[in-house]
Every structure is written in structure tokens, then in C-alpha cells.
Amino acid sequence: MSFDHFGEGVETLTRTVQGRTVKVQWNWGKFSTTEGFPVDENMINWVIGQEQALSEGFLCLNEWVHKLKHLEETQWYASWSNADEAKPAAKTVISPGPYLLLLGDPGTGKSLLGRALSEKLTQVYKENGIKLFDVLAWKNAVLPSQPRVSIHTVGEGKKVLQKEQRKELKRKFTTKIGLKAIQALMLTLGVFLLALGLYFMVNAWQTWTAGGVSIGGTSWQELYSNNFSAYFVDKFINLVPLTFIPGGSLIFFSVFIWWFSRMGGLTNLRGVGGAQQSDVPKLIVDNVSGNAPFVDATGHRSAQLFGSVAWDPFQTGGLGTPEHQRVTAGDVHVASLGILYIDEIKNLDPEDAVTLLTVLEDGQLPITLRSRWHGGGTSAMAVSTEPVPAITFLVGAGNFDSIGQVHPALMDRIYGYGKVVRMNNDMPNTLENRRKYVQFIAQEVKRFNLMPFRRDACMEIVEEGRRRSNKRDALSTRFRPLISIIKTSAILAMNEKCQAVERRHVLEALNEHCKTIQKQLLEHEMHERGKLLEIKPEGVTLGQIHGLAVVHDPYSGEMTGNVLGVKAQLVKKTEIPRDHPLKGYYKVTGVAKGQSFISDSIAKVRSVILQKYGVDIAQDYLTHIDFAQSYGVDGPSAGVTMAILLCSLIEGKPIRQDVAVTGEINLGVNGAIQITAVGGIHEKIKAAEAWGFKKVVIPQKNYLHSIDARDYTIDVVPAATLDDYLKECLVEQQFLKVPVRKYK
């Protein structure tokens, strides 16, 4: 490639490395590989080709910072620092907006832009003194079903939590000491009673053996008729209620208390978010990192988005877990004073979209039970906290079809208080942007720990970006498919134990390994069908031409080229001997039925032939055009194919079979019949190239807009009018002309 992709000279690149700003010299004219190319740690500089989206994002960012600076001046959070104080309505203080909705094709960097804005926010917050906050949920002693909320500056939330935990530990320690004292007392008393009982039993035995007497003066032997067993049992029964039973009970309960405390009891069971049977507040929002929050809520449901209250005792910390310990903050609360990013925002449930409206309008939202099954009628349904701050910078994203599928009320808020931005699919093919492609390659090499790319490999990636843009003077900004090519090329080079990725590795990745499944299926279908087609790109033939078409996958939009063999017969009706004159006709077979595009092309061909030769192929002739071995051909690009075919028959000039054509025919103006641009031009040329054609003729507008001759081994010729096409396709060898009659 002789084209100078990256220019000459040395450029000073400013980068952020390990938190420091450094300047690195990079020689664009002499670099051989991307090794040593400085990669910025600041993600805002990773966004390539989206200058307009970045500009709009920064505009929203400036508005957001202005809003937060005003809130900081009002000290709105002062009344929120005490959990016992009533909370004011934030809507009177917090204004809605700004919001940002990014619309574009997949792979254009929407999520990267959202993360980059949040990284920028952290820097801006430090410069402007904007403070983040932590949120605690407290027990409400009066109404336990309405846990109270307090907010604190960053780091204070954990300090308050630790302070309350120390109080709880002191209480537990006191309780533990008290329990041990009671346990010791019960054990001592129980042992004492048992010992006392044993003492009395021993004393009774000694009294019997010593011949002692009872209270009435009668000896125990006479009293019990010299039956020691009856005497002993009677004494034992009298002592059991007074000594053995209470003593044994006290010992049992003391042992039970010891075992229960060793097992932890219910007081130490942990559940969701560390919930316990405790009156200590729960830290539900923690911003101790100091970075502006970025929460990717893509695909999250109601409970994740807006918070919920756990209800299953086996998940929350055991029976009797207090309400405030079962509270879990949602994405909107965690993202407060930061960015809430929702990709494919059109997929939000209508109910969630309406709740999100409340968050955006009010800047706060109570946490209550939200789940798919809504707790099944448990007590958690009655729990609702005080309003929790949810001052979020919403960044939504989606494809262009999202415009009509986002909830109308939500879309209205975004239009009213924010901006809707289109992501670019391409950027100008300039020296600066080609150099940014090298930056992109170096970024991915670092991110995936790959080997460096040689200069020629970088050139091929740039060329693939140009081809994917479908424009001669543009480069694609859909970088995600290119990442697959970069990774695959590096693995191929790694398998060969190369020191760097070469151009041949990139070409192998492109041609063999990085095709979508839809393209693989289409190419396989065309290959198998091609074995049955009667296409021979050689020689000259009267009444036959090769046209180019594309086959689309209806789901992904992928397409591949296809070559069509088109034949025609044109007979003047008066030349057929019959007793009764024939009526002329004009038939086209092998095309899609009831499709407007091909029907329009068929009609235009009739008018073009009438204009050029003064004959009506539908009235004066028996005209039949057949798209041989084709099924359901549709689209405007078949127009020029049919027109050239009829011109060949009328003029008696054969058509070169090694030439394929495509283009949309138009009615002539001022004597010229123009051929205008069609779609899928790159795929059509590649199909003609694969079949071995020597030349392909395409509309001049397509050539100027999209085609670089370096991409093909076939000769690509631009043509603006039908006469230009005829010069390239017809040969001067004269056959028998079809008689024509000029209209006066």
C-alpha cells in the first residue's frame, strides 16, 4: 500500500498515567509497531469519533455540576442528618434534569461514554468541592414499619455505624456478663441444693444405723417395722421437692444458657446485607471510595432499580429481624449524585418507567417492598422507609428503534429536561482519525494483554474500518466488531510465535474467522447454490447479461453478494405468421411477486426503451425477460440489467459475459438516461470477483461515495448514464438487429 496512512513527524501526546499527566513523543513516520504507544488511563480519551456526543455530554455535565453547586449552597442535607427529624420535600429544592439519551447502533461506544462521564464527574466534584453522602436506615421506635433515614457526608456513615455498633456491643457485653452471672448463680445454687439433699440422705442413713428416734420418741426401726427401704424411700420423697428437683432444674437451665450462648442463638445470624436482630442502623448507601457513583442498571428489575424490603426470615437474619435491617437500597439510591446508566432503555417495564419518572422529578424515593411476587402478603408489604435521596444523572442508551418504544412520559421528560444525542456510525477518514485508530488498537492490546501490531497490520485495520463505513472518505466508529478482529489476529500471531501481529494475520482473521453466523449461513447458501448456476464469465452472447444483487438476512441485516444470469427474448409481433394478429406483451419472470421496487424498475425499463429507440416493448413486441435460476428477485438495481439486455437485442450487439452490472435505471432528461446509486455495492463487487468476472460496472455516485479500487482485484468502472454502461458492456460485432420503428 503506497498510501501514507499515518503521516510523518513527531507528535507530543498528553496522557494520564498513574494519576499524573505526562507528555510522550511519538514518531508517526517511523514507528514499526504499537509497542510503547502511550495509553491514557482517563477513559474520556478512549471515546473516538463521537465528538458531538461528547460535546452534548459535557454540556449536560456542566448543567449537572451547576445544579449540585446550588444544592451545596442551600445546605439541603442539613435537615437530613438527624434520623428523628421530619424530612422536607426534596422536590421544592431539587430541580429535575439534566438527562442524556444516547441513540445509535451497537458497538459505537454508548456505555463507554457513560463510564467516561462518571470518571469526569469525580474530577469535577473535587475541583468544585461537591460532596457525596452516605445513607443510614434507622429503627423507628414509634412506627417500626416506617424506618427512619439519615444522610451523612462521605465516611461519616461508617463512623456513625461503628459508634452504634459499639453501643450495641456494650449492651451485648453487659447482657452476656449478666447471663454468665445468672448462670453461675443458678449453677451454684443448684449444686448447693443437690449437696444439701445428699447430706440429708446420708444423715438419714446414719440416724437409722445409730438407732435414732423420731420426733415422737419412737425409734425409726419400730416406726417402720425394721424396714430400712421404706424408711429411706420416705425420706427421699420428702427431700426431692425441696432439694433435688429445684437443684437439678437450676443446673439444667444454667447448662442450657451456656450451650445457647456458645451456639450464638438468633442474635448472631446474618442474612441479606448482613441483616441481624439488632437495633443498630443499617448502612444502605456507602460512598466511602469518594468516586462519583456509576451504576449500570441495564436489565435490572423493580427491586434492583428502586430498592426493596426483604421478607423471608431465613434470608434476613432470623425471626424477629427489625424492619430497618431488612431494607436494601436500589440503583437509583446508590447512584445518587452520580450516573444511572440504563442501556436498552426501551425494555423498561411500563410500571418501572413510571416509578423512574417519580425519581427523576422528585429526586427521592421511599424504599418499600418491590419484587416479582410482592412478598406474597407478608408483613414486609406494610414497610416503607422515609424518602431516600435519589438525585441521579440518568444516561439512557438504545438503538434508533428505541425512539418509538420508550415510555412516552419518560421520553417527554428526557426531551424536556435533557438531550437526545445521535451516536455517529462513522467519522471522516482524516490523518488525525487514522492515528486515533492506532490509539484504539493500542488500547485493546493493553486491555487484553495482547502482542503489539505492526504498522502494516494497523493499516489493514484502518482499511477495514473504511470498508465497514461503506464510504470512501469515512472510517467506522462501530469498534466492537473490530475488537474481535484485533483479538483474533493477535491469537493467530501468538500461535505462530511471532513477535508482533502482521497484516497477513489481520487478513486471515477477516476472511476466515471473524464473520458473523448470519454471514456464514448466507455465504454457505450462495456457495451451494452456485454449484447449480449456469454462470460462465467468458465470451460474448446476444440476449444474456449478468447482473448483481444482494441477499439479506431479515434479522441481523447482514448481506452477501449474488450474481444473476438474466436472459431476454424480443420478437416483433408482426413477424410471426398468424391468421389473427398477436397482441404484444411484456413479461418478466424470476422476480418477486407484488413487490413495488422490482415492479417500478420493470415499468421504467419500458419507458426508457421507448424514449431511446421509439419502440414500445409491451405493444409492438413479444418481450420476455427471465432472471434465470433466480427466486424472488426484488430491488431497483435490476433496472439497468434489463435495459442493457434489451438494448443489446434492439441494436444487435452481443454482451460481454465477463462484465457484471448493477444500478437503478431512471427516466431520461435532456436526452440522458441516468443510472443512480444502489445499496450493497461492496458485497456485489466481491461476489463478481469471486465468480471470476474481469469487470464490474457500477453507478458513478456509488464509486465516488464508497469505492476504493485498492480493495478489489477486479476492474471497477464507474458509469453515470445508460450510454456509459453500453460502452462497457456491448461489443461492435453486429448480429441481426430487431426491426424497430421510430415514432414521429
Provide the CATH number for the domain around residue 492: 1.10.8.60
Judge whether 114 lies within some domain: yes
Q: What is the mean pLDDT of residues 210-231?
A: 73
Cell of 418: 435533557
Q: Using 50, 70 and 90 to split pLDDT, how confident is the model at 255?
A: confident
Q: Using 50, 70 and 90 to split pLDDT, how confident is the model at 374?
A: low
Q: What is the pLDDT of residue 267?
A: 47
**Whether 248 and 128 share a structural domain:** no
Three-state secondary-structure class, residue 129: coil
Among the three residues 373, 397, 422, which one is the final residue of a domain in this structure? 422
**Whether 649 and 718 share a structural domain:** yes
Give me the catalytic one of 120, 235, 346, 684: 684
* Cell 406483451 found at: 585
Among the three residues 398, 422, 446, which one is the final residue of a domain in this structure? 422
CATH number, domain of 718, equals 3.30.230.10
User: Packing angle between helix 479-495 and helix 455-469, nearest 10 degrees?
Assistant: 150
Judge whether 58 lies within some domain: no
Rounded to whole angstroms, how far apart are CA atoms 301 and 299? 7
Q: Using 50, 70 and 90 to split pLDDT, how confident is the model at 266?
A: very low
Judge whether 557 lies within some domain: yes
**Whether 371 and 417 share a structural domain:** yes
Q: What is the pLDDT of residue 257?
A: 78
pLDDT at 742 over 50: no
Q: What is the mean pLDDT of residues 104-110?
A: 87
Q: What are phi and psi of 511, to 5 degrees?
A: -85, -20
CATH number, domain of 352, equals 3.40.50.300
Q: What are phi and psi of 742, to 5 degrees?
A: -80, 130
* H helical segments located in 217-349: 220-223, 228-239, 245-263, 302-306, 313-316, 331-334
Return the half-sphere exposure (C-beta side, CA atoms, 13 A cut-off) of residue 431.
9
Q: Using 50, 70 and 90 to split pLDDT, how confident is the model at 628?
A: confident
**Whether 398 and 439 share a structural domain:** no
Judge whether 271 lies within some domain: no
Q: What is the mean pLDDT of residues 628-639?
A: 71
Among the three residues 422, 437, 458, which one is the final residue of a domain in this structure? 422
**Residue 678 in contact with residue 663, Cβ under 8 Å?**
yes
**Whether 296 and 412 share a structural domain:** yes
**Residue 588 in contact with residue 552, Cβ under 8 Å?**
no
Strands 474-476 and 426-428: antiparallel
Q: What is the pLDDT of residue 427?
A: 94
* CA 317 to chain CA centroid, nearest Å: 35
> Per mean pLDDT, which range of 72-86, 94-108, 299-313, 482-496 is the poorest?
72-86
Task: Tell me whether residue 684 is one of the annotated catalytic residues.
Answer: yes
Q: Using 50, 70 and 90 to split pLDDT, how confident is the model at 246?
A: confident
**Residue 684 in contact with residue 696, Cβ under 8 Å?**
yes
Q: Whole-structure pTM over 0.85, yes or no?
A: no
Judge whether 334 lies within some domain: yes
Spell out the residues 6+ positions from residue 4 whose beta carbon is closer than 8 angstroms to its own: none
Compute, in degrees rounded to 10, the torsion defined by CA atoms 532, 536, 540, 542: 10
Q: What is the pLDDT of residue 544?
A: 92
Q: What is the mean pLDDT of residues 30-56?
A: 89
Tally of structural domains, the chain: 4
Judge whether 739 lies within some domain: no
Q: What is the pLDDT of residues 125-175, one digit of tens each?
A: 888 888 888 999 999 888 888 999 998 888 888 888 888 888 888 887 887
**Residue 305 in contact with residue 297, Cβ under 8 Å?**
yes
Rounded to whole angstroms, how far apart are CA atoms 492 and 507? 11
**Residue 335 in contact with residue 363, Cβ under 8 Å?**
no
**Whether 434 and 407 share a structural domain:** no
**Whether 382 and 439 share a structural domain:** no
Judge whether 202 lies within some domain: yes
Number of H helices, E strands in the chain: 21, 27
Q: Respond yes or no on whether the N-terminal peptide bond of residue 98 is cis (omega within 30° of 0).
A: yes
Q: Using 50, 70 and 90 to split pLDDT, how confident is the model at 453?
A: very high
What residues are paired with 559 via a beta bridge?
552
Give me the catalytic one of 637, 648, 653, 706: 637
220: left (phi > 0), else alpha (psi -120 to 50), else beta? Answer: alpha
Please tell me the chain's helix, strand, coil percentages from 3-state DSSP, rounded to the nearest 5: 45, 20, 35
Domain range for 473: 428-514
Q: Is 593 exposed, middle or buried (0-12, 13-18, 19+ CB in 10 A)?
A: exposed
**Whether 247 and 356 share a structural domain:** no
Rounded to whole angstroms, how far apart are CA atoms 436 and 564? 41
60: left (phi > 0), else alpha (psi -120 to 50), else beta? Answer: alpha
Rounded to whole angstroms, how far apart are CA atoms 396 and 411? 10
pLDDT at 270 over 60: no
Q: What is the pLDDT of residues 432-442, one digit of tens each?
A: 999 999 999 99
Q: What is the pLDDT of residues 404-422, one digit of tens each?
A: 888 898 888 888 888 999 9
Task: Tell me whether residue 637 is one of the annotated catalytic residues.
Answer: yes
**Whether 592 and 460 share a structural domain:** no
* Cell 431539587 found at: 94
Rounded to whole angstroms, how far apart are CA atoms 732 and 655? 10
Of all residues in the chain, what percent carry a pLDDT higher than 90? 28
Q: What is the pLDDT of residues 468-526, one digit of tens each?
A: 888 888 999 999 889 999 999 999 999 999 999 999 999 999 988 888 776 776 677 66
Judge whether 108 lies within some domain: yes
**Whether 330 and 453 share a structural domain:** no
Cell of 405: 418504544
**Whether 587 and 509 share a structural domain:** no
Q: Using 50, 70 and 90 to split pLDDT, how confident is the model at 274?
A: low
Cell of 635: 430491488
Give the Cα-Cα-Cα angle 595, 600, 601 (nearest 5 degrees).
Answer: 105
**Whether 372 and 496 share a structural domain:** no
